[in-house]
C-alpha cells in the first residue's frame, strides 16, 4: 500500500474525469478501516482497489501484479472481514494461505497481526526450520487463518495433525515461484483435499502456461485482475546491464557500491557459495553487509533480515530464496551479481527496489557466459535493458592530467612543504661512537693510501645522475570534492557485449 491517491473512473465513463478512492470506498468494516488508518494508510493501490471488492463478494480471483504493489494486503484485508464471523475448530483451519518460502509466510503473518488487531482471529504459521511442537499445539486449539509452506503442511497432513475439509478460503500466493520450486504437485494434492465449494485466490507476478492450467483446474469462473502486463518491470526502477569480464565482476560491484550513491542494497547471486564468498569479500572491504541463503537455519535467516531492516547492515547478499515478497522499505539498489537462470527471477529480484512509488536502480553484471540468460530476460520483459555507460555515472569523473606532469597545486604544495621543513638538529653522539671514531696514526695512514687508490678520475668525479622518477599515473588528478569520484575511470565502461 502507498499513500498516493488511486484514481477511479466515474459512472459517466469520461476518461478525463476521476475521483479519489479511499479504503472506505471498498466496503471494509469500521474496525478494519481503523487498523489500516493506524498503520498510516488511507488510499489503496491499484491491485487493492480492484481485488478487495470481489473478494468480499466471495468470488474467485486471479491477480497479476508486479511485486511491491501491495498485493499481500489485497487479500489479507478482505479475508479479515470475511472470517470475522464463524467459529474455529481444532485441527480444522478455516482458511489456508500457501507461500513458497518461510520469509514470505512470516511476512503475511505480520500483515495479519497488524491489520487484524481489532478482530478476534487466531492465526498459525506452519514453516520448516522450526520445531513442530508449538505449531501442532496451535492447530489443536483451532485457527482461523493458517499460513503455510507446502512442505511443512504436507508433513503435518501425512502425520494426521491437520484436516483440510473445513477450509472455506484458499490463497495461492506467488504461484510462479511455486512452479520454479517444484511445488505444483503438492499444491494439486492439497487442493484435492479441500472442499469443492470454497473461494480460491491465485496471485502471481507472471503467468506461465503451467500456472494458467492450474488456475483453470482449481478456480471457478475467476475474475482476472491484471494491474500491469505480466512479466513487466516496475516503471519506477531504472535498470542497467553492465558488460564485464567474469574476473572483473567483484571489482565492478565494489566500484558501483562506492560510487552510485547507494543507501541500502540487495545483491543477488545464483549460488549459495557465491553468496558466502561475496559477503566475506565485502566485509573485508569495509562494507556493512550480511547474507541470507537456503543453507542457513530459519532463526539465522530471520536474524539477518531483521539486521537489514533495522539498519544495522545496509547491504544484504542473497540467493533467490529472498527474491520474492520481502518488503523492506528504502532499498535504493538491487545488484544481480549473476544474471538469473530463470528470466522470471529477474522481475522479482529487481522488484525489491522501487517499491510503493519510490525510485530505485538495478544493475545486472553480464559476463560472456550470461549472454543467453540476459537475452531471455529481455524477451520475457519485452524491452531492452540499457547498457550502463558514462552518461549514467552519478559521480563527476574528471579528465586526467598529461603524462609526466604533476598538477600545479600538487607540485607547489610539495615545494612549499620542503621549504617549510625546519632543519634537523644533529644527533648527539654517544661515548661509544666517540671511541669508535678515534683512529690511531698507523690506521689513518693506511686509510689515506686506500682513499688515493679508490679516488675516481676527474671525468667520473661528477655526481652520478639521479634516476629519473617514473611519471605519475595518468589518472592522478586534483583532490575531488566530497561525493565525487577521484579514481581512475572504471574499465567496465569501455567493455562491450560480445
Global pTM reads: 0.60
- In this predicted model, what pLDDT tens digit does every residue of 339-386 receive, in sequence order? 998 887 888 888 888 876 788 999 999 999 999 999 999 988 888 999
Residue among 185, 249, 240 at smallest CA distance from 213: 185
The answer to whether position 340 is within a domain reads yes
- In this predicted model, what pLDDT tens digit does every residue of 196-232 receive, in sequence order? 999 999 999 888 899 999 999 999 999 999 886 545 5
User: Residue 322: its pLDDT value, please?
Assistant: 56
Domain with 126 in it:
6-226
Q: 3-class secondary structure for the chain?
A: CCCCCEEEECCCCCCCCEEEECHHHHCCCHHHHHHHHHCCCCCCCHHHHHHHHHHHCCCCEEEECCCCCCHHHHHHHHHHHHCCCCCCECCECCEEEECCCHHHHHHHHHHHHHHCCCCCCCEEEECCCCCHHHHHHHHHHCCCEEEECHHHHHHHHHCCCCCCCCCCEEEECCHHHHHHCCCHHHHHHHHHCCCCCCEEEEEECCCCHHHHHHHHHHCCCCEEEECCCCCCCCCCEEEEEEECCHHHHHHHHHHHHHHCCCCCEEEECCCHHHHHHHHHHHHHCCCCEEEECCCCCHHHHHHHHHHHHHCCCCEEEECHHHCCCCCCCCCCEEEECCCCCCHHHHHHHHCCCCHHHCCEEEEEEECHHHHHHHHHHHHHHCCCCEECCHHHCCCCCCCCCCCCCCCHHHHHHHHHHHHHCCCCCCCCCCHHHHHHHCCCHHHHHHHHHHHHHHCCCCCCCCCCCCCCCCCCCCCCCCCCCCCCCCCCCCHHHHCCCC
Shared domain for 243 and 190, answered yes or no, is no
User: Residue 408: its pLDDT value, please?
Assistant: 42
- Does residue 447 carry a pLDDT above 70? no
Span 46-67, mean pLDDT?
92
Last residue of one domain, picked from the residues 396, 420, 446: 396
Shared domain for 219 and 82, answered yes or no, is yes
- Does residue 44 carry a pLDDT above 70? yes
- In this predicted model, what pLDDT tens digit does every residue of 4-18 receive, in sequence order? 444 343 333 333 333
The answer to whether position 102 is within a domain reads yes
What lies within 8 Å, CB to CB, of 86 at 6+ separation is 94, 144
User: Residue 425: its pLDDT value, please?
Assistant: 46
Shared domain for 336 and 390, answered yes or no, is yes
Q: Which of 30-44, 140-154, 326-340, 461-475 has the lowest mean pLDDT?
A: 461-475
Shared domain for 165 and 257, answered yes or no, is no
User: Residue 278: its pLDDT value, please?
Assistant: 96
Shared domain for 16 and 126, answered yes or no, is yes
User: Residue 115: its pLDDT value, please?
Assistant: 96
Shared domain for 77 and 132, answered yes or no, is yes
Shared domain for 147 and 60, answered yes or no, is yes
Shared domain for 247 and 389, answered yes or no, is yes
The answer to whether position 470 is within a domain reads no
| pLDDT interval class at 3 (50, 70, 90) | very low
Shared domain for 248 and 217, answered yes or no, is no
CATH assignment at residue 310: 3.40.50.300
Span 81-93, mean pLDDT?
93
- In this predicted model, what pLDDT tens digit does every residue of 101-148 receive, in sequence order? 888 898 899 999 999 999 999 999 999 878 899 999 999 999 999 999
Residue among 360, 387, 382 at smallest CA distance from 371: 387
The answer to whether position 473 is within a domain reads no
- Does residue 283 carry a pLDDT above 80? yes
The answer to whether position 432 is within a domain reads no
Last residue of one domain, picked from the residues 396, 424, 449: 396
User: Residue 29: its pLDDT value, please?
Assistant: 95
Contact, 225 vs 63, CB < 8 A?
yes
The answer to whether position 264 is within a domain reads yes
Shared domain for 215 and 298, answered yes or no, is no
* Backbone φ and ψ of 421, nearest 5°: -70, 130
User: Residue 488: its pLDDT value, please?
Assistant: 54
Question: Integer distance in angstroms from the first to the last C-alpha of the chain?
Answer: 42
| pLDDT interval class at 164 (50, 70, 90) | very high
- Does residue 294 carry a pLDDT above 60? yes
Contact, 214 vs 187, CB < 8 A?
yes
The answer to whether position 401 is within a domain reads no
Mean pLDDT of the residues in the chain:
79
Residue among 489, 444, 256 at smallest CA distance from 362: 256
Last residue of one domain, picked from the residues 342, 370, 396: 396
Q: What percent of the chain is modeled with pLDDT above 70?
A: 71
User: Residue 312: its pLDDT value, please?
Assistant: 95
User: Residue 392: its pLDDT value, please?
Assistant: 77
Span 57-66, mean pLDDT?
91
Rg (CA), the chain: 33
User: Residue 197: its pLDDT value, please?
Assistant: 93
More confident residue, 66 or 473: 66
Shared domain for 275 and 302, answered yes or no, is yes
| pLDDT interval class at 394 (50, 70, 90) | low
User: Residue 355: its pLDDT value, please?
Assistant: 76
More confident residue, 149 or 391: 149
Q: What percent of the chain is modeled with pLDDT above 90?
A: 52
- Does residue 40 carry a pLDDT above 90? no
The answer to whether position 457 is within a domain reads no
Domain count for the chain, please give it. 2
- In this predicted model, what pLDDT tens digit does every residue of 230-261 receive, in sequence order? 455 667 889 999 999 999 999 999 999 999 99
Shared domain for 283 and 166, answered yes or no, is no
User: Residue 496: its pLDDT value, please?
Assistant: 52
Residue 231, sorted as left (phi over 0), alpha (psi -120 to 50) or beta, turns out to be: left
User: Residue 92: its pLDDT value, please?
Assistant: 96
Amino acid at each position: 500500500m502507498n499513500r498516493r491517491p488511486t484514481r477511479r473512473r466515474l459512472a459517466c465513463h469520461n476518461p478525463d474525469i476521476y475521483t479519489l478512492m479511499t479504503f472506505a470506498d471498498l466496503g471494509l468494516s469500521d474496525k478494519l478501516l481503523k487498523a489500516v488508518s493506524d498503520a498510516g494508510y488511507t488510499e489503496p493501490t491499484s491491485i487493492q482497489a480492484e481485488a478487495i471488492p470481489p473478494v468480499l463478494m466471495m468470488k474467485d480471483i486471479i491477480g497479476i501484479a508486479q511485486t511491491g504493489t501491495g498485493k499481500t494486503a489485497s487479500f489479507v484485508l478482505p479475508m479479515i472481514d470475511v472470517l470475522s464471523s464463524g467459529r474455529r475448530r481444532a485441527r480444522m483451519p478455516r482458511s489456508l494461505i500457501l507461500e513458497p518460502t518461510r520469509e514470505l509466510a512470516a511476512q503475511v503473518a505480520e500483515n495479519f497481526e497488524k491489520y487484524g488487531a481489532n478482530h478476534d482471529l487466531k492465526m498459525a504459521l506452519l514453516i520448516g526450520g522450526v520445531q513442530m511442537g508449538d505449531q501442532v499445539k496451535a492447530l489443536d486449539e483451532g485457527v482461523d487463518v493458517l499460513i503455510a509452506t507446502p512442505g511443512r503442511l504436507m508433513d503435518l497432513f501425512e502425520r494426521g495433525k491437520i484436516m483440510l475439509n473445513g477450509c472455506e478460503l484458499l490463497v495461492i500466493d506467488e504461484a510462479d515461484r511455486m512452479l520454479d520450486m517444484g511445488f505444483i504437485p503438492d499444491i494439486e494434492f492439497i487442493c484435492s483435499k479441500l472442499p469443492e465449494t470454497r473461494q480460491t485466490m491465485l496471485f502471481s507476478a507472471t503467468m506461465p502456461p503451467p500456472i494458467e492450467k492450474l488456475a483453470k483446474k482449481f478456480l471457478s469462473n475467476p475474475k482476472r485482475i491484471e494491474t500491469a502486463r505480466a512479466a513487466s518491470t516496475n516503471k519506477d526502477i531504472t535498470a542497467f546491464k553492465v558488460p564485464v569480464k567474469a574476473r572483473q565482476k567483484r571489482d565492478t560491484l565494489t566500484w558501483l557500491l562506492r560510487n552510485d550513491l547507494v543507501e541500502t542494497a540487495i545483491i543477488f547471486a545464483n549460488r549459495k557459495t557465491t553468496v558466502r564468498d561475496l559477503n566475506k569479500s565485502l566485509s573485508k572491504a569495509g562494507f556493512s553487509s550480511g547474507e541470507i541463503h537456503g543453507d542457513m537455519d530459519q532463526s539465522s535467516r530471520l536474524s539477518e533480515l531483521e539486521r537489514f531492516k533495522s539498519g544495522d547492515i545496509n547491504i544484504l547478499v542473497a540467493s533467490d530464496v529472498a527474491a520474492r515478497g520481502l518488503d523492506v522499505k528504502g532499498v535504493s539498489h538491487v545488484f544481480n551479481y549473476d544474471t538469473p537462470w530463470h528470466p522470471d527471477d529477474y522481475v522479482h529480484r529487481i522488484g525489491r527496489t522501487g517499491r510503493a512509488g519510490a525510485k530505485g536502480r538495478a544493475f545486472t553484471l553480464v559476463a560472456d557466459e550470461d549472454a543467453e540468460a540476459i537475452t531471455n530476460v529481455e524477451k520475457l520483459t519485452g524491452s531492452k535493458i540499457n547498457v550502463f555507460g558514462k552518461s549514467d555515472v552519478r559521480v563527476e569523473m574528471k579528465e586526467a592530467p598529461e603524462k609526466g606532469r604533476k598538477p600545479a597545486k600538487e607540485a607547489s604544495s610539495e615545494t612549499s612543504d620542503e621549504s617549510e621543513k625546519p632543519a634537523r638538529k644533529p644527533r648527539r653522539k654517544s661515548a661509544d661512537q666517540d671511541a669508535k671514531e678515534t683512529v690511531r696514526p698507523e690506521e689513518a695512514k693506511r686509510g689515506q693510501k686506500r682513499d688515493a687508490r679508490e679516488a675516481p678520475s676527474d671525468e667520473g668525479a661528477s655526481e652520478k645522475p639521479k634516476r629519473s622518477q617514473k611519471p605519475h599515473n595518468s589518472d592522478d588528478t586534483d583532490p575531488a570534492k566530497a561525493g565525487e569520484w577521484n579514481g581512475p575511470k572504471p574499465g567496465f565502461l569501455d567493455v562491450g557485449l560480445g
